Amino acid sequence: MTVTVPVSRRGPGIAVSGLAAGAVLLAGCGGAVTGRPVAAEQTVVSRHIDAQLGSLLPDPSQFPGKYPAVVLPAEAAAQAAGDLNGIARGATVQPDGCVPPQQSFGPDQTAIVVGTDNDTRATMTVELTRTRQPLSALRTQLKRCGELRVNRAGATTTVRTELQAPPPVEADDTLALRRTVAPDSGGAGLTQSMQTLTGQVGDVRITVTYMIFSDGQADTASLDELFTTAVQKVRKG
């Protein structure tokens, strides 16, 4: 009798669901077994990636063709990071407890490369950050902080975040989200719409975001391709 169990593409942190595991144990009583491995939630960060973050960024030549890309200097990276989560440095956030963890922008703390489609103004951004925080902590925060009110210098925006099915790549943990950042006042074309894929490998968090100033559909094919490329490069170190 042949037992067939599908193999996940994920790496560390994989646990077979209770249903699939039970099916394997009972395989002697039936035919082929089907099941879907489920990623275990990352709860600790136990591995340090030695390579410098800048060397782990995808090369601009690896971006999808219509997104010519550049690596950002440190100060521009700090501004871009605020754009990606809708919370600029110095902003106040409500409700309490929903401010993202403090982020450092030293040479081996944050690295960002951005590609821009000049026809649509859409951007594709890869952000690498050093963190000792497991991705599960971010997931927990996002679940209870689905809608934020953000104020900076008298301007107020509403940031809405919706968690989606995590992408299946070889990483310690992954998540996906859709986010909008809408100002209280302003004309059309000022609302940011983002689709984000995030993974963690050791103490390096990989975040790839498609952003556009409209309600148009995200370029998910290019996003998936770039995310896979970025995760693979970090895994290889």
* Per-residue pLDDT reduced to its tens digit, 83-100: 999 998 889 999 999 998
Are both 4 and 96 inside the same structural domain? no
Residues 214 and 170 in one domain: yes
Band of residue 211 on the pLDDT scale cut at 50, 70, 90: very high
Q: Are residues 33 and 58 in the same domain?
A: no
Note if the pTM is more than 0.85: no
Q: Is 170 found in the same domain as 75?
A: yes
Give the C-alpha separation, 156 to 154, whole Å: 6
| pLDDT reported for residue 1 | 43
Q: How far apart are CA 215 and CA 194, in angstroms?
A: 10
Report pLDDT for 90.
85
pLDDT of 102: 83
The domain of 98 spans 53-236
Would you say 194 and 213 are in contact if contact means Cβ atoms under 8 Å apart?
no
- Domain count along the chain: 2
Give the residue with greater pLDDT, 65 vs 40: 65
The verdict on 25 and 63 lying in the same domain is no
Pair (77, 100) in one structural domain: yes
| pLDDT higher than 80, residue 13 | no
Q: pLDDT at position 74, please?
A: 86
- Look at residue 140 in the predicted model and tell me its pLDDT: 95
- Residue 76: predicted pLDDT: 92
- Report if residue 47 sits inside a domain: no
45 in any annotated domain: no
- Does the pLDDT value for residue 4 go beyond 50? no
The rounded radius of gyration (Å) of the Cα atoms in the chain is 19
Question: Do residues 14 and 175 make contact, with C-beta atoms less than 8 angstroms apart?
Answer: no
Q: Is pLDDT at 12 greater than 60 in this prediction? A: no
30, pLDDT greater than 50:
no
Quick one: average pLDDT of 198-217?
Answer: 93
The answer to whether 210 touches 217, Cβ cutoff 8 Å, is no
Task: Tell me what the pLDDT averaged over the chain comes to.
Answer: 84
Mean pLDDT on 159-174: 96
Separation between Cα atoms, residue 25 and residue 8, nearest integer Å: 19
**Does 46 reside within a domain?**
no
| Number of neighbouring beta carbons within 10 Å of residue 91 | 17
Q: Is 20 within 8 Å of 3 (Cβ atoms)?
A: no
